[in-house]
Structure 1
Amino acid sequence: MRARSLTTTLALAFGGTTLAVFVLVGSFVYIALSHQIKAQDDLDIVLAARHARRLAQEIETSRGIDEHAERLTSIVLGNEAMSMEVDDAGGRRLVEHNIAGALGASAAAASSAPPPGITRVPASARITEGAIAEWRTPSGAPVRGILADVMLHDGELATVLVARNMSDRWLLLDRYRDKLHIAGAAGVVLAFLLGYLLIRTLLRPLRDIASSTGRVTVDRLHTRIAVTRVPQELETLVASLNAMLERLDTGFQRLSGFTADLAHDMRTPLGNMRGATEVALARPRSSDEYQTLLESNLEECDRLSRMIENVLFLARAEHPQFVKHMREFDAGQELTRIAEYFEGLAEDAGVTMRMTGGCKLSADPELFRRAVSNLLANAMRYTPRGGLITLDATDAGEGVRVTIANQGAPIAAEHLERIFDRFYRVDPSRSTLPSSEGAAGTSGSTGLGLAIVRTIMELHGGTVRAESDAQGTRFILQFRRG
């Protein structure tokens, strides 16, 4: 099932939020208006009842009430919803106005009887809103009113009923509620439409980003996402995507260069083997010549084998799950063993080796031996006869520093950093300079030795660098402590 668009989802959420706000605000306003109307009507009822009591108290006897009926009923005149009734102590109705609106037509025609649930206010008590009662007429109309006793001037008691039919208020509130519903529904629809248009406009940078990334292909990894007029919230996303494209571009270029260099270096021994074999097959050869050819081909096979082994090691080392067997050992003793292994080759090359220093080091012993062996083989290849190679292990405070130094021609400054790149070649006319393994360009090199050294140091969280001057060349391995 196709996922719902983000624009529609946000617009619906905006509309739902607006609906919730409208419901809460509308309910609050409706309830507040209802309470305000009720309070105002209750106040009118109380004031009318108090006024009627004061007028009745000035009348001498119950018979005088008939004479002052107009004065009493004038209190509620002008409001069709208001009703009044005055009864004597025997329950005989003396004055009435619109009483059918408060009690119903049948009750108004009969003798007066208190509405159900109403409490009579004694003549000595103050009339307040708390004495107001609510009831319904037989037709179901809501009524609110007060029933209060009045003491006439001669001491006789009379009863005053002041009531208000609330039907008009109900109709008013119903119409107001309907308008709230209509306004709320229209507001939600309008909020959804405006929210949809607004969100769609605000999400345009995301569509532009998607369009920009859609133009990235293998041939166009250099393409970058434009960061102009991008909201602050998306600047981090754009920067991350551009950084990812930069890494992909760099990695792809390195991979392309590595593949080209690998193909070039593999072509050389294969071409040597093919050329030598074709020459040997051009005419009959002696057994010694065939043996020489096979020995030459075997050397080229060894070179290819070393190259493939180094490439596989680099590929495995770049995998996140590459396993290292870390342990602590004496770096001085390990350097001594490696020097003893190279002792025969050093004698053949007329080179002297010297070991100095010594300290504890936490690393993978096999990887440590491989890195030092590569550097030592590189040093022996470019150290002149009678020269000196020094192996040193020193506790440098922030970690352990291992140095392999050899005498010989210096390396130009522009090559010092790049000699650790895979298959890097310096000026081929300067055959005395090392390349990526320190010996690329010689028959025994695969051009990956120094690249392997750098990879091993990266696996240990350390660094490798080269220094070269008139006194010789120094390769420095810096291991972090712990």
Structure 2
Amino acid sequence: MRQPSLTTRMSLMFMLGVIFVLVVAGLSFHALAKHHFNMLDRQTLEDKLASTQHILNNTQDRQRFNSARPQLNALLGAHEDLAAVIFDSKGKVIFSEPTAFKFPADYREQTPREIWQWTEDGRQYKGIRIEIPTQSQSVAASVLLVIDVTTHEHFFEQLRRWFGLGLVISALVSAALGYVVARSGLQPLRQVTQVARSMSARSLDDRIPLEPVPRELQELVISFNEMLARLDDAFARLSNFSADIAHELRTPVSNLVTHTEVVLSQKRDIESYQENLYSNLEDLNKMSRMIDDMLFLAKSDNGLITPKQEPIELSSLVSKLIEYYGLLADEMSITFSVSGEGRVLGDQLMLDRAISNLLSNALRYTAPGNTIAIAIETVANCVSLSVKNPGETINPEYVGKLFDRFYRADPARREGGPSNAGLGLAITQSIVEAHKGEIVCSSANGTTTFQMSFPVCSVP
């Protein structure tokens, strides 16, 4: 089932709110009006009843009662909707105004001085009666006052009818107004939708301005703009990465094609074929390593690298790597110095690869006769390993880009040989981040330092 739009839902909620308010107001007015009319009716009946009782209290015989008739006629006949019946002690009617008024037969069953209501011949009545103590059976013993409230009921019936009609009209008008207000208020959302719909690889730099956006939607717009900025940056990196891959693979493929064409141009001896095959094998190995590195980085980007969690002594790991790079360092008249110790939880093969990349870079850009310093420090809950080598200072604008894939903007950090594809530092950063650490680079005064930080190992 298709869900209604947000505009429709807000319009319906606005309409329901208006209907609820009108219903509550209408019911309250109806109740107050009815209470007001009931009080008026009660006051009228009780006032007339008190006056009638006062007159009848002075009529102790039939002659005095007949003398009081003009007063009773003047009192009870002046009210158009009021009827009065006076009974003697035997229940005989001795006074009636109007004369032929038809009173209810069960009036004696009603509680004295209590108002009751009944319907007769389509009309509504309210009545009240009192008992008057008397010593003579020929004078008044009880009085019945009745008021016709049919006009009141007609008023309430008409009021309900008009209220129902007004409620329907108000609901329609409020729904229309709610739709207009909701549509106007949701204009920024439509703008976000329009920008999202128009998004393409060439328009990721578009942003939604915050000035015309209501305060309640500014957080949404800010988050959307930040998402566009991240997408723009990621797409730019992906485009550059694709271009770098094509550039890096073009050279070995071109070499393979050239070597193969040269070999096939004429018949050669076995030694020539072997020499060209060895040359092709070197390019194929370079391409294989590059593909493996790119697969590793792709897994890292998707969070598929899960390092082992085993205690590792960094000093022992560095010592083994220095033994491996010792012969190369001796040939270049470069020495290593190691200080400090620390223990981390991680994958030994991955950390071996990360530190190896840093040592390889340090050897590549260190002049002969210098020393590469490796320092391990444990501070609070952090273990750091830094590799410091003397060399040409890197321009500060290039330092933040050293961990980008295939980055070669700074001539001081160009790869020293054809076997390097510019992925080593990117892989090192991925390994460090997979171990919940971070890596930074600083270069100043002819010294470049790469520092890796890891959480300290708490396993005994």
TM-score by length of 2: 0.91
* Residue correspondence of structure 1 range 63-74 to structure 2 within 5 A: 63-74=63-74
Alignment of 1:475 with 2:450, yes or no, is yes
The residue that corresponds to 2:350 in the other structure is: 367
The residue that corresponds to 2:132 in the other structure is: 150
Q: Deviations over 1:245-275 (max 9, x none)?
A: 1111110110000110111011112222222
CA contact (8 A) 1:101 1:165 kept: no
The residue that corresponds to 2:114 in the other structure is: 132
The percent of aligned pairs where both chains have the same amino acid is 29
Alpha-carbon distance between aligned partners in 1 of 2:92 and 2:66, rounded to the nearest angstrom: 12
Aligned residue type for 2:75: I
Listed as ranges, the gaps of 5+ residues in structure 2 are none
Moved more, 38-47 or 183-192: 183-192
Alpha-carbon distance between aligned partners in 1 of 2:284 and 2:396, rounded to the nearest angstrom: 34
Q: How many residues align?
A: 456
* Residue correspondence of structure 1 range 323-338 to structure 2 within 5 A: 323-338=306-321
Q: Decide whether aligned partners of structure 1 residues 337 and 139 sit closer, same or farther in structure 2, where only a CA change above 3 A counts.
A: same
* Residue correspondence of structure 1 range 100-249 to structure 2 within 5 A: 103=103, 115=107, 117-120=109-112, 131-136=113-118, 138-139=120-121, 141-151=123-133, 158-249=141-232
Q: Deviations over 1:385-443 (max 9, x none)?
A: 3432232211133511101223344433333222221111135xx4xx324xxx2x511
Q: Decide whether aligned partners of structure 1 residues 299 and 470 sit closer, same or farther in structure 2, where only a CA change above 3 A counts.
A: farther
The residue that corresponds to 1:31 in the other structure is: 31
Alpha-carbon distance between aligned partners in 1 of 2:189 and 2:393, rounded to the nearest angstrom: 54
CA contact (8 A) 1:354 1:390 kept: yes
CA contact (8 A) 1:351 1:389 kept: yes
Aligned residue type for 2:305: F
Q: Decide whether aligned partners of structure 1 residues 143 and 102 sit closer, same or farther in structure 2, where only a CA change above 3 A counts.
A: farther
Q: How much has 1:138 moved relative to structure 2?
A: 4.7
Alpha-carbon distance between aligned partners in 2 of 1:417 and 1:225, rounded to the nearest angstrom: 29
CA contact (8 A) 2:388 2:447 kept: yes
Q: How much has 1:315 moved relative to structure 2?
A: 0.3
Q: How much has 1:181 moved relative to structure 2?
A: 1.5
The residue that corresponds to 2:419 in the other structure is: 444
Alpha-carbon distance between aligned partners in 2 of 1:299 and 1:137, rounded to the nearest angstrom: 113
Alpha-carbon distance between aligned partners in 2 of 1:451 and 1:190, rounded to the nearest angstrom: 63
The residue that corresponds to 1:90 in the other structure is: 90
Q: How much has 1:242 moved relative to structure 2?
A: 1.0
Q: How much has 1:3 moved relative to structure 2?
A: 3.6
Q: Determine helix, strand or coil for the equivalent of 2:421.
A: coil
Q: How much has 1:205 moved relative to structure 2?
A: 2.2
> How big is the alpha-carbon RMSD for the aligned residues of Structure 1 and Structure 2?
2.4
CA contact (8 A) 2:344 2:455 kept: no
Q: Determine helix, strand or coil for the equivalent of 2:375.
A: strand
Alpha-carbon distance between aligned partners in 1 of 2:126 and 2:364, rounded to the nearest angstrom: 114
The residue that corresponds to 2:18 in the other structure is: 18
Alignment of 1:382 with 2:365, yes or no, is yes
* Residue correspondence of structure 1 range 44-59 to structure 2 within 5 A: 44-59=44-59
Aligned residue type for 1:446: A
Q: How much has 1:306 moved relative to structure 2?
A: 1.0
Alpha-carbon distance between aligned partners in 1 of 2:421 and 2:402, rounded to the nearest angstrom: 13
Q: Determine helix, strand or coil for the equivalent of 2:109.
A: coil
Q: Decide whether aligned partners of structure 1 residues 474 and 5 sit closer, same or farther in structure 2, where only a CA change above 3 A counts.
A: closer
Aligned residue type for 2:233: T
